[in-house]
Structure 1
Amino acid sequence: MLSYQHSYHAGNHADVLKHIILGEVVAGMQKKETPIFLLDAFASRGIYDLNSPEAQKNREFETGIARLWALRNDPHPLGVARWFKLIEQKNSDGDFSHLPGSTALLAAMMRPQDRLAACDLHPQEFEGLQASFKSSRNLALHKRDAFEAMKALLPPKEKRGMVFLDPSYEEKGEYRKLATAVAKVYSRFAGGVYVVWYPLLPAANHNELFAVLRRAGIRKILRIELDCHGAFPQMQMQGSGMLIVNPPWAAEDAMKASLHWINTHLLSGKGKTHFGWLVPE
């Protein structure tokens, strides 16, 4: 669907988990010097204006970044520090109104030997992406369908790669479609790292995502989840999670520390967290 625009939801509790953990995965992969290809398959616009009418409509950022910004100078895990530093770099006035999304995070973390492709098919979102980033030898912007891009761009010439997938899930069938696409690409690029974000909604459709991936025979799928446990009754989404296929071993402790920090400081420790294997090795 081309109706979804992330600006309405930017900066919420799911974005906090999503971007901090994504940064940990990439940092873990970068422990090795060899090049990495990064694919942001549902990139959206890359940087969000939280003063925009879209962001101000529901003010979902008040469930995430707005609750945490005052803590930016306190001691916190390295992954959280990386996230805060990136936001500070995008705001010269000490505020957080220009909020970097996944493409901005990945672009900031790229080393000279790495390469990033960011895709979005929505016309307005892609225009925002072009306004925020310029194509170069290391950064390619694609106005194309995410699933088509996965087929075309993988496996990469670098032989190492990370694919980030966070679709809108506006249609129930998208959970199955995403899992099926991951399974197909995995059959051609089994060494890739696949990071899949999903929402926790009352219908619990994420269980279909789990089931399809389990049946696909993929091994080493880590499940990280934060259930806000009713902290935001005005929102239908009461938490989110991430599945990581082939998680870098060097990132495990860092991801645990970040998950604990988010629960402690965003939810006063009252959220329900999960960190374990959906499918073991």
Structure 2
Amino acid sequence: MLSYQHSYHAGCHADALKHIVLGDLVAAMMLKEAPLFLFDAFASRGIYNLDSAEALKNREFDSGIGKLWPLRHGHLPEGVSRWFNIIEGENSDGSFTRLPGSTALLAAMLRDTDRLAACDLHPQEFDALREGFKNSRRIALHKRDAFEAVPALLPPVEKRGLIFLDPSYENKEEYKKVARTISDACTRFRAGVYVIWYPLLPAGRHLDLFNALKRSGIRKILRVELDGKESFPEMQMYGSGLLIVNPPWHAEQSMKRSLDWLHQNLIAGNGLATFNWLVPE
């Protein structure tokens, strides 16, 4: 939806889960030397200013990075430490004011042989994305509809790739549309790792996504979810999760450690942390 701007929500509890687990997945795939294609299908602006009027309006970052930042020097899972280090790389003053989004996180992890594509259709968000990464030769930016771009850009020449989808879900039909897009993409690039973020909202429409993927015939879909229950009373979104098609097995332990740490430190062990197969192999 062209009305959606992630700046109002940047740094919230869902971003913490999303970006830490995404980093765990990419790090596991990079254990192999072969080149890797990364695709951020709903990139937004890439880097967020948490001093902006949009971010400060509801201060949703207090539910995520604001709560976790004081813990950055403690004993941390590798994925959490990586996330903190990438944020520190954007802030020389020790703050988290410049917050890397998914595109910036992926860009920070690129090796010389890897390639990143990022896509957004919102005019202001794309302009900010282009400005932020204008000097990055290994990053291709596309101002186009992500649902059209995903199958169009696959399969990659690298033959190894991770495709990340985190739409706004402002339109309830997007849950089923994501499932159709992944099903189409898998016919073109069966070996790809597909990462789908979804929110937990009172309407429970994430179940439409689950059911559509179960019917698709796609196998090996891992569910990584943090359900905060009553932990975020000021927010409609009470949790979020990731569905991962073809997760590299090297990543499973690191993702589980990251999820457990977030469960303990974001919601004090309350709510529910889920790590299981939505669809087994």
Question: SS state of the match for residue 186, structure 2?
Answer: helix
Deviation at 1:259, TM superposition (A): 0.2
One-letter code aligned to 1:250: H
Question: SS state of the match for residue 2, structure 2?
Answer: coil
1:189 and 1:133 map into 2 onto residues whose CA distance is 27
Provide the residue aligned with 1:265 in structure 2.
Answer: 265
Shift >3 Å, 4+ stretches:
none
Q: Deviations over 1:77-98 (max 9, x none)?
A: 0100000001101011100011
Q: Deviations over 1:187-209 (max 9, x none)?
A: 11110000000000001100010
Greater mean alpha carbon deviation, residues 45-54 or residues 263-272: 263-272
Q: Give the unaligned 5+ runs of structure 2.
A: none
Provide the residue aligned with 2:88 in structure 1.
Answer: 88
Provide the residue aligned with 1:99 in structure 2.
Answer: 99
Question: SS state of the match for residue 196, structure 2?
Answer: strand
Deviation at 1:136, TM superposition (A): 4.2
Matched, 1:5 2:23: no
Matched, 1:152 2:152: yes
Matched, 1:225 2:225: yes
Q: Deviations over 1:170-218 (max 9, x none)?
A: 0110000111010011111110000000000001100010111111100
Deviation at 1:23, TM superposition (A): 0.2
Following superposition of structure 1 onto structure 2, how do residues 245-260 of structure 1 map, counting pairs within 5 Å? 245-260=245-260
Provide the residue aligned with 1:241 in structure 2.
Answer: 241
Provide the residue aligned with 2:207 in structure 1.
Answer: 207
2:66 and 2:150 map into 1 onto residues whose CA distance is 34
Deviation at 1:271, TM superposition (A): 2.6
TM-score (norm. length: structure 1) = 0.99
What's the RMSD between the two structures over aligned residues? 0.8
Provide the residue aligned with 1:53 in structure 2.
Answer: 53
1:245 and 1:257 map into 2 onto residues whose CA distance is 19
Greater mean alpha carbon deviation, residues 76-85 or residues 134-143: 134-143
Give the fraction of aligned pairs with identical amino acids, expressed as a percent. Answer: 66
Provide the residue aligned with 2:35 in structure 1.
Answer: 35
1:154 and 1:182 map into 2 onto residues whose CA distance is 11
2:113 and 2:137 map into 1 onto residues whose CA distance is 10
Whether the aligned pair in 1 keeps the contact of 2:120 and 2:146 (CA below 8 Å) is yes
Whether the aligned pair in 1 keeps the contact of 2:151 and 2:188 (CA below 8 Å) is no
Matched, 1:64 2:49: no
Whether the aligned pair in 2 keeps the contact of 1:115 and 1:138 (CA below 8 Å) is yes
Question: SS state of the match for residue 247, structure 2?
Answer: coil
Provide the residue aligned with 1:78 in structure 2.
Answer: 78
Q: Give the unaligned 5+ runs of structure 1.
A: none
